């Protein structure tokens, strides 16, 4: 804690600022005023009871860091410099003289820095009358050249005040997860109250910054100022040092997050990628595109810039990975297959015709391929993504088993990550259909459900979570985004333990069938996900393409989801690509290549091939082919 006391005194210039105020108090310094730090005993006479003042002001604590799983910083602090004017004490200027004094210093500052300073006479006088013993800030966040120009100008009553500001060292990286901060409350211009802060604090406004704001904020320190009956400062003293905020250690892998965002930016205008560790449920990467840079909010964002972000048609503020839900298309066939095999509606060797179209009620439901593909079993139908096979099998299985197994895999429910606004998704049941469409689920609805269309909606995070459950053979771990909270002295404050929510009661034979089909999707001759194939590591996946939105503005969500290595999965993933209105995009040609780009980098070098990821640091390092078209 002694180290932080020194840092606070030196970084924020508390002792030096108050000493300068004292030195400038009169034209003829009084010998009776003790040096800074030696507190004078004030005799409580009638006069001093009225005129003497002692202030206890709060010192905001440095905000804690947010890091990746190994301690690499995602959000931290830096020292920023603000320029301020010190008024001489006692505060006996007339209004005219106070304004003239401030204007003279502002003109000097403008000449030195080249920065225009806009501050009204009213604002100057409000500060002088209410808060004149404290510096009046006239410019924030000085750049290096501005700082060098004014740092030694204390004789001109100009003072540089160091303050902590939030900084996001990786720019846009993980911005939707980290969030951003903003100033807490308004700028103070009223009479000084005891325990008000020496400078404005910041608070989390979105993401982890918001969720863990209280833990990140730390505890205030206290600074004591004493003035005699004539209004001269007699002492300034650090009474209690601030306690820095705690550090939040996430489950994110910085390199994987970088690769995911790089792949999205290169291949998609809008979309998302999520990568989960199937052995424990940890989120290793969660990327949304387009992204925004949280540094835009440091030290504050203008109304114009914020409006630009809000009005951008691509909605960069939207965290698509967990706040957007899309129809899953043929990726949902994995859940349908598990339901069909586990209920005994079909056996692994049962054959159904993969015909171009079938009639259900008054409607004709088509396959994405025009020709008759013949009789197929489950593995073949999943590999080729035959829609008409799944229409038949879905209706034979029935809606309820499909719904039940979808829910067991985590669809239709929030994953429970500590971020606001997570979408719930939807697995439509009879109650939903009656409330929305005025009828229960019919065979046509089951046909749509069986290929992940209709009213079904899934988030990219839910899809990656489901793939993790399938990858590990049926263990459903609580999805984690935060590993632990640590104090500044590296003590664990809170640890979010590995937790198995449930184990799916699914047979090994069914899981073998699903795994075989997903491997063939990527590696088999008739698979739809060849563009995700990698050298030296076998990928298991499922492609999907689904339409959503009103017919006149219909768009396509192109999916690829799965896991790798297929024999001993270490990564489960989902990728979704948002197509433009009227565009024809497919999961196998748009989403699958994004995943391939990421894992080519992970597995490209012999020395890294098969290497395990680093374990989370116990001590945070400081600062440092044509695919299916599932149209119905």
Per residue in 292-338, pLDDT tens? 999 999 888 888 999 999 999 999 999 999 999 999 999 999 999 99
User: What does the pLDDT look like over 324-378, one tens digit per residue?
Assistant: 999 999 999 999 999 999 999 999 999 999 999 999 989 999 888 887 889 999 9
pLDDT level of residue 12 (50, 70, 90 thresholds): very low
Q: Is the pLDDT reported for residue 40 higher than 80? A: no
**Closest to 54 in 3D by CA, of 220, 239, 242:** 239
Q: How far apart are CA 125 and CA 433, in angstroms?
A: 65
Mean pLDDT of the residues in the chain:
87
For 6-44, give the secondary structure using H, E and C.
Answer: HHHHHHCCHHHHHHHHHHCCCCCCCCCCCCCCCCCCCCC
pLDDT tens-digit readout, 404-414: 999 999 999 99
The pLDDT, as a whole number, for residue 200 is 81
Q: Judge whether residue 22 has pLDDT over 80.
A: no
Question: pLDDT at residue 492 above 80?
Answer: yes
Mean pLDDT, residues 141-159: 87
Q: DSSP letters of 520-543? A: HHHHSTT-S-GGG--SSS--EEEE
Locate CATH 3.40.710.10 in the chain: 256-305+318-603
Sign of the dihedral through C-alpha 296, 247, 611, 286 = negative
* Nearest alpha carbon to residue 321 among 282, 292, 287: 287
End-to-end CA distance of the chain: 66
pLDDT score for 2: 45
Looking at domain 2-27+35-249, its CATH class is alpha beta
Average pLDDT over residues 594-610: 78
Q: In the predicted model, what is the mean pLDDT of residues 112-141?
A: 92
Ranges 366-375, 392-401, 470-479: which has the least confidence: 366-375
Checking if the pLDDT of 5 tops 50, the result is no
- The secondary structure of residue 331, as a DSSP letter, is G
Q: Give the residue-averaged pLDDT of 140-151.
A: 90
What are the start and end residues of each CATH 3.90.1310.10 domain in the chain? Answer: 2-27+35-249
**Extended strands (E) in 297-341:** none
Residue 625: per-residue pLDDT: 39
CB neighbours of 303 closer than 8 A, spacing ≥ 6?
none
- For the domain made up of 256-305+318-603, the CATH class stated in words is alpha beta
At residue 612, does pLDDT exceed 80?
no
What angle, 0 to 180 degrees and rounded to 10, lies between the N-to-C axes of helices 443-450 and 333-343? 120
47-61 pLDDT tens trace: 333 446 889 999 889
Q: What is the pTM for the complete model shown? A: 0.86
CB-based burial, 165-193: b 16+ in 10 Å, e otherwise: bbbbebebbbbbbbbbbbeeeeebeeeee
570 vs 616, more confident = 570
């Amino acid at each position: 804690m002694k180290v932080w006391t020194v840092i606070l005194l030196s970084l924020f210039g508390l002792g030096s600022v108050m000493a300068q105020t004292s030195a400038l108090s009169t034209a003829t310094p009084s010998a009776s005023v003790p040096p800074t730090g030696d507190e004078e005993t004030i005799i409580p006479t009638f006069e001093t009871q009225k005129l003497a003042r002692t202030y206890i002001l709060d010192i905001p604590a440095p905000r804690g860091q947010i890091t990746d799983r190994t301690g690499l910083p995602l959000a931290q602090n830096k020292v920023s410099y603000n320029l301020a004017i010190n008024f001489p004490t006692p505060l006996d200027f007339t209004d005219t003289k106070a304004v003239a004094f401030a204007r003279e210093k502002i003109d000097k500052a403008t000449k030195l820095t080249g920065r225009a300073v806009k501050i009204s006479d009213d604002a100057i006088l409000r500060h002088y009358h209410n808060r004149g013993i404290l510096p009046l800030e006239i410019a924030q966040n000085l750049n290096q050249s501005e700082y060098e120009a004014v740092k030694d100008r204390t004789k001109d009553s100009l003072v540089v005040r160091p303050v902590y500001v939030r900084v996001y060292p990786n720019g846009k990286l993980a911005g939707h997860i980290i969030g951003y901060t903003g100033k807490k409350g308004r700028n103070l211009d009223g009479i000084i109250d005891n325990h008000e802060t020496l400078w404005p604090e910041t608070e989390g406004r979105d993401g982890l910054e918001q969720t863990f704001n209280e833990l990140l904020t730390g505890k205030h320190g206290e600074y004591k100022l004493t003035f005699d009956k004539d209004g001269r400062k007699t002492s300034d003293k650090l009474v209690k040092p601030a306690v820095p905020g705690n550090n939040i250690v996430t489950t994110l892998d910085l390199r994987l997050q970088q690769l995911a965002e790089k792949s999205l930016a290169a291949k998609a205008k809008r979309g998302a990628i999520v990568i989960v560790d199937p052995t424990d449920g940890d989120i290793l990467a969660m990327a949304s595109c387009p992204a925004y840079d949280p540094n835009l909010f440091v030290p504050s964002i203008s109304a114009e810039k914020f409006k630009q972000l809000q009005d951008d048609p691509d909605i960069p503020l939207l965290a698509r990975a967990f706040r957007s839900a899309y129809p899953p298309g043929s990726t949902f066939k994995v859940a349908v297959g598990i339901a069909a095999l586990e209920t005994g509606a079909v056996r692994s060797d049962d054959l159904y015709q993969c015909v171009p179209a079938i009639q259900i009620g008054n409607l004709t439901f088509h396959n994405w391929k025009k020709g008759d593909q013949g009789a197929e079993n489950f593995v073949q139908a999943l590999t080729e993504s035959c829609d008409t096979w799944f229409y038949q099998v879905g209706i034979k299985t029935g809606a309820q088993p499909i719904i039940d197994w979808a829910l067991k895999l985590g669809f239709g429910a929030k994953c429970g990550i500590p971020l606001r606004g997570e979408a719930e998704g939807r697995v439509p049941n009879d109650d939903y259909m009656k409330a929305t469409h005025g009828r229960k689920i019919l065979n046509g609805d089951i046909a749509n459900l069986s290929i992940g269309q209709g009213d079904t909606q899934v988030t990219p995070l839910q899809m990656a979570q489901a793939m993790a459950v399938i990858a590990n053979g049926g263990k459903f771990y609580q999805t984690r985004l935060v590993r632990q909270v640590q104090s500044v002295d590296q003590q664990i404050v809170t640890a979010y333990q590995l937790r198995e929510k449930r184990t799916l009661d699914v047979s090994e034979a069914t899981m073998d069938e699903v795994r075989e089909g997903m491997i063939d999707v990527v590696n088999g001759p008739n698979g739809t996900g060849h563009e995700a194939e990698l050298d030296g590591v076998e990928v298991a996946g499922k492609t999907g393409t689904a339409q959503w939105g009103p017919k006149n503005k219909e768009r396509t969500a192109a999916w690829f989801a799965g896991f790798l290595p297929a024999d001993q999965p270490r990564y489960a993933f989902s990728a979704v690509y948002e197509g433009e209105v009227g565009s024809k995009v497919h999961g196998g040609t748009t989403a699958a290549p994004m995943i391939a780009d990421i894992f080519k980098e992970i597995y490209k070098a012999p020395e890294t091939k098969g290497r395990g990821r680093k374990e989370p640091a116990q001590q945070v390092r400081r600062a440092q082919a044509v695919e299916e078209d599932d149209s119905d």
